[in-house]
């Protein structure tokens, strides 16, 4: 019996020793005064035994806790001999807070009355902090994400407001329902859905983007994880789904994906790394350039450009700027399979990573080769039209010069006709005066004739009287006869003079008639010359208008040509040598030549120009170009000549 008692005591001592080493222990009086404490307890509180012996247990708890009803109830129960187990905050020395899990056990005397209290405590501060952290995480998760708890059979056990709001349900409407109420009917009956739940019950996590049906069969998308929760034995006991609502994001992604798919169907798409190596291409691009995918993947972009441009600083700068995140959009001339020209209206777009840094380049392009070839033909037609307009303009100018010469000659002719007309008028006037003079002479002759008749009559009378006088009148008769003869001679002379005057008058009348006809003819000629001069003047003005309109038309055709050319010249070429379409008069000056060669300036840039010659004059390798409306002359070197078109580059001093 003693041996058994001794053995039990030995076991008890061993147990107490183990508890002493592993737990914080303290003894309190029935009034709560601390009587004793082991090293674990003192280490936990930070006090020395002397500092707290005789102090009430209240010094080890927060003031508010020591004054609470729960605290008074704890000590009341202990005073009744009732053991108490609890977790509470303990205030250590310096105000440091610990969490302890303690069992307060009353020690009874033989009559069953409590005489002291033994406290066995464990420091659970780290556990509490970990638990609090986990609780905070769970609370944060519950606030920020949609959370649902399911049984292993898919029954809804609980759901937080986030998912209820997203789905449009109240908790009582979904609690106890099966998960498949949120799935599309076809999905809920599928083997995939069955396998999904089987994997969860095996303890496997499932994460993905899930589409579920909310109230009214409204589609709701979640980016979620279904995580099995295990019990103490490690076996799954429930399923927790937590996720975020991505419905709007999914719509945007779907819309974006649809746009990308539409672009991929309609446009040529190429993906490059930042060095220009081809990572991927679509069928539209392959169709445009004539290659197969395996022929271009891994190759560098320069396989599509001419060799001179591929090694140029401009091409290197092009890719350097893409690496910096700059984008480009233009019409580009590229080289397809077999060396054929391919025109692409393309944009090069650097794609940024999450940090905002470029990590690849995507090119979207439309094959505009047919359009560009049509534009090139239109440019050729415009060039021909421009040449024709220029020819017509030159012809109009020559016509204008000829008309000006004709106008000058018609002016001189008109002056000569006017002079003849004036001379005819003078002659007519003189002839009139002559007729008047002959008329006056005729009057005098008539008077002389009358006098001669009277003299003749007197001579006759004298002869008669002399005959009567006989011998005495013979001498008088001789005189009378002589007088009569003289009178007859005078009559004969006046008759001849009268005949001559009549002839003169007839000639004067003929001259007057002729001069009148001449004057009338000259007047008619004068009218014709005046009308012709006026018509020629009108024609000259019309020709000048035609020449001006031709020049205006030439300028407009040049503008059309320039606009068309903007589509044909690629961005890289414009950067290297931007040119301006124009239509200006110019002259080529040859060393030692007297006359310059007329030409038309068709386009010009900082590096050179292109002109059209009127003739086929030979040109040396070096010459000067003088452009109308500008000062000075440009030193030029011949580049090439095709018919009347001459290309030249400017030679810098």
Q: Where are the beta strands (DSSP E) in 66-216?
A: 84-91, 97-108, 114-123, 146-151, 156-159, 206-213
Residue 599 and residue 244: Cα distance in Å, rounded?
Answer: 76
Q: Which of 599, 577, 604 is nearest to 588 (CA)?
A: 599
pLDDT value, residue 1: 44
Alpha carbon 10 to chain centroid distance? 97
Per the CB < 8 A criterion, the answer to whether 278 and 270 are in contact is: yes
Tell me the CATH number of domain 375-564, given options 3.40.1370.10, 1.10.287.950, 3.40.50.720, 3.30.420.40: 1.10.287.950
118 three-state secondary structure: strand
Residue 281 and residue 117: Cα distance in Å, rounded?
Answer: 83
Alpha carbon 50 to chain centroid distance? 88
Residue 315 and residue 22: Cα distance in Å, rounded?
Answer: 78
Long-range contacts of 328-331 (CB under 8 A, 24+ apart): 328/571, 330/570, 330/571, 331/368, 331/372, 331/567, 331/568, 331/570, 331/571
Per the CB < 8 A criterion, the answer to whether 586 and 596 are in contact is: no
- Mean pLDDT across 239-253: 88
Domains in the chain: boundaries: 17-125, 145-251, 267-367, 375-564, 571-650
pLDDT value, residue 441: 67
What number of CA atoms fall less than 13 Å from residue 227's CA on the CB side?
A: 9
Query: Quick one: fold of 571-650?
Result: Thrombin, subunit H (2.40.10)
Q: Which residues pair with 9 in a beta bridge?
A: none
Residue 552 has pLDDT above 90, yes or no: no
Verdict on whether the full-model pTM lies above 0.85 = no
Per the CB < 8 A criterion, the answer to whether 192 and 208 are in contact is: no
Residue 361 and residue 352: Cα distance in Å, rounded?
Answer: 9
Per the CB < 8 A criterion, the answer to whether 549 and 426 are in contact is: no
pLDDT digit string, tens, across residues 555-600 = 666 666 666 555 555 444 444 556 777 878 899 999 988 899 999 9
209-218, 275-284, 400-409, 578-587: which has the minimum mean pLDDT?
400-409
Cβ-based neighbours of 542, under 8 Å, separated by 6 or more:
none
Q: Which of 504, 517, 516 is nearest to 437 (CA)?
A: 504
Residue 209 and residue 632: Cα distance in Å, rounded?
Answer: 75
pLDDT digit string, tens, across residues 165-177 = 989 999 999 999 9
- Mean pLDDT across 241-245: 89
Per the CB < 8 A criterion, the answer to whether 515 and 521 are in contact is: no
Counting runs of H as helices and runs of E as strands, what totals does the chain give? 18, 21
pLDDT value, residue 564: 58
Per the CB < 8 A criterion, the answer to whether 540 and 404 are in contact is: yes
Residue 27 has pLDDT above 90, yes or no: yes
pLDDT confidence tier of residue 47, bands split at 50, 70 and 90: very high
State how far the alpha carbon of 93 is from the alpha carbons of 35, 42, 51, 315, in Å.
Answer: 18, 10, 10, 75
Q: Which of 447, 519, 520, 522 is nearest to 490 (CA)?
A: 447
pLDDT confidence tier of residue 2, bands split at 50, 70 and 90: very low
Residue 543 and residue 401: Cα distance in Å, rounded?
Answer: 9
Q: Which residues pair with 33 in a beta bridge?
A: 56
Cα Rg, the chain, nearest whole Å: 67
- Within 10 angstroms of residue 68's Cβ, the number of other Cβ atoms is 13
Residue 581 and residue 67: Cα distance in Å, rounded?
Answer: 98
Beta-sheet strand order (sheet of 84-91):
34-37, 24-29, 114-123, 97-108, 84-91
Beta-strand pair 114-123/146-151:
unpaired
Residue 182 and residue 212: Cα distance in Å, rounded?
Answer: 5
Query: Quick one: fold of 145-251?
Result: Beta-Lactamase (3.30.450)
**Of 141-150, 230-239, 493-502, which one has max mean pLDDT?**
230-239
Per the CB < 8 A criterion, the answer to whether 299 and 273 are in contact is: no
State how far the alpha carbon of 453 is from the alpha carbons of 465, 496, 498, 542, in Å.
Answer: 18, 16, 15, 78
- Mean pLDDT across 343-363: 92
Q: What are phi and psi of 67, to 5 degrees?
A: -100, 0
Indicate if the alpha-carbon torsion angle 525, 530, 533, 534 is positive or negative. Answer: negative
Q: What percent of the chain has pLDDT over 90?
A: 42
DSSP state for residue 596 in the 8-state scheme = P
Mean pLDDT over the full length of the chain: 82
Structure-model confidence comparison of residues 47 and 21, the more confident one: 47
pLDDT value, residue 318: 94
Query: 267-367: same fold as 145-251?
Result: yes
CATH 3.30.450.20 matches 17-125: yes
Structure-model confidence comparison of residues 105 and 516, the more confident one: 105
Q: What are phi and psi of 268, to 5 degrees?
A: -85, 130
CATH 3.30.450.20 matches 267-367: yes
Indicate if the alpha-carbon torsion angle 140, 145, 148, 152 is positive or negative. Answer: negative
Per the CB < 8 A criterion, the answer to whether 302 and 316 are in contact is: no
Residue 268 and residue 284: Cα distance in Å, rounded?
Answer: 5
Long-range contacts of 140-146 (CB under 8 A, 24+ apart): 141/242, 144/244, 145/242, 145/243, 145/244, 146/222, 146/224, 146/241, 146/242, 146/243, 146/244, 146/245
Angle in degrees, CA 222, 227, 231, rounded to 5: 150
pLDDT confidence tier of residue 5, bands split at 50, 70 and 90: very low
Left, alpha or beta for 592 (phi > 0: left; psi -120 to 50: alpha)?
Answer: left
Residue 161 and residue 169: Cα distance in Å, rounded?
Answer: 9
Structure-model confidence comparison of residues 511 and 197, the more confident one: 197
Cβ-based neighbours of 58, under 8 Å, separated by 6 or more:
32, 66, 71
């Amino acid at each position: 019996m003693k041996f058994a008692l001794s053995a039990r005591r030995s076991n008890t001592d061993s147990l107490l020793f183990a508890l002493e080493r592993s737990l914080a222990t303290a003894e309190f009086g029935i009034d709560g005064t601390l009587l004793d404490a082991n090293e674990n307890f003192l280490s936990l509180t930070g006090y020395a035994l002397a500092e707290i012996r005789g102090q009430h247990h209240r010094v080890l708890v927060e003031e508010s806790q020591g004054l609470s009803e729960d605290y008074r109830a704890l000590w009341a129960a202990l005073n009744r001999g009732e053991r108490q187990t609890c977790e509470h905050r303990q205030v250590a020395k310096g105000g440091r807070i610990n969490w302890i899990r303690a069992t307060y056990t009353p020690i009874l005397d033989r009559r069953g009355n409590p005489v002291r209290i033994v406290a066995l405590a464990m420091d659970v501060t780290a556990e509490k902090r970990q638990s609090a952290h986990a609780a905070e995480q769970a609370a944060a998760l519950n606030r920020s994400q949609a959370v649902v708890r399911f049984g292993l059979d898919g029954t809804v056990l609980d759901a937080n407001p986030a998912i209820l709001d997203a789905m449009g349900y109240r908790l009582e409407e979904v609690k106890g329902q099966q998960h498949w109420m949120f799935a599309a009917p076809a999905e809920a009956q599928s083997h995939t859905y069955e396998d999904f739940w089987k994997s969860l019950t095996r303890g496997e996590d499932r994460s993905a983007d899930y589409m579920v049906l909310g109230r009214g069969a409204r589609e709701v998308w979640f980016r979620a994880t279904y995580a099995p929760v295990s019990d103490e034995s490690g076996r799954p006991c429930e399923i927790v789904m937590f996720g975020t609502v991505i419905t709007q994001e999914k719509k945007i992604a779907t819309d974006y994906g649809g746009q990308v798919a539409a672009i991929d169907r309609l446009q040529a798409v190429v993906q490059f790394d930042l060095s220009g190596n081809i990572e991927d291409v679509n069928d539209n691009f392959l169709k445009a350039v004539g290659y197969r995918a395996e022929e271009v993947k891994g190759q560098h972009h320069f396989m599509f450009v001419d060799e001179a441009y591929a090694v140029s600083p401009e091409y290197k700068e092009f890719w350097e700027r893409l690496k910096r995140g700059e984008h480009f959009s233009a019409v580009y001339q590229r080289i397809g399979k077999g060396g054929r020209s391919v025109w692409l209206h393309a944009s090069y777009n650097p794609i940024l990573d999450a940090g905002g840094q470029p990590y690849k380049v995507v090119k979207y392009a439309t094959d505009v080769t047919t359009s560009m070839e049509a534009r090139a033909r239109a440019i050729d037609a415009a060039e021909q039209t421009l040449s024709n307009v220029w020819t017509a303009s030159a012809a109009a100018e020559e016509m204008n010069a000829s008309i000006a010469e004709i106008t000058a000659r018609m002016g001189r002719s008109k002056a000569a006709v006017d002079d003849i007309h004036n001379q005819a008028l003078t002659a007519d006037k003189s002839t009139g005066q002559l007729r008047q003079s002959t008329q006056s002479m005729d009057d005098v002759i008539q008077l002389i004739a009358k006098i001669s008749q009277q003299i003749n009559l007197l001579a006759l009378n004298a002869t008669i009287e002399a005959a009567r006088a006989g011998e005495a009148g013979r001498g008088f008769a001789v005189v009378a006869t002589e007088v009569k003869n003289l009178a007859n001679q005078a009559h004969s002379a006046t008759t001849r003079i009268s005949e001559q005057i009549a002839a003169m008058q007839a000639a004067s009348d003929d001259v007057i008639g002729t001069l009148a006809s001449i004057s009338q003819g000259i007047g008619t000629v004068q009218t014709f010359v005046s009308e012709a001069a006026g018509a020629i003047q009108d024609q000259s003005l019309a020709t000048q208008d035609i020449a001006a309109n031709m020049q205006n038309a030439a300028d407009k055709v040049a503008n059309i040509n320039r606009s068309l050319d903007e589509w044909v010249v690629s961005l890289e070429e414009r950067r290297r040598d931007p040119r301006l379409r124009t239509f200006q008069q110019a002259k080529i000056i040859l060393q030692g030549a007297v006359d310059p060669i007329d030409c038309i300036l068709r386009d010009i840039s900082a590096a050179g120009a292109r002109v059209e010659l009127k003739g086929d004059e030979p040109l040396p390798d070096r010459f000067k170009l003088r452009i109308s409306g500008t000062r000075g002359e440009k030193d030029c070197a011949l580049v090439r000549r095709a018919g009347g078109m001459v290309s030249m580059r400017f030679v810098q001093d």
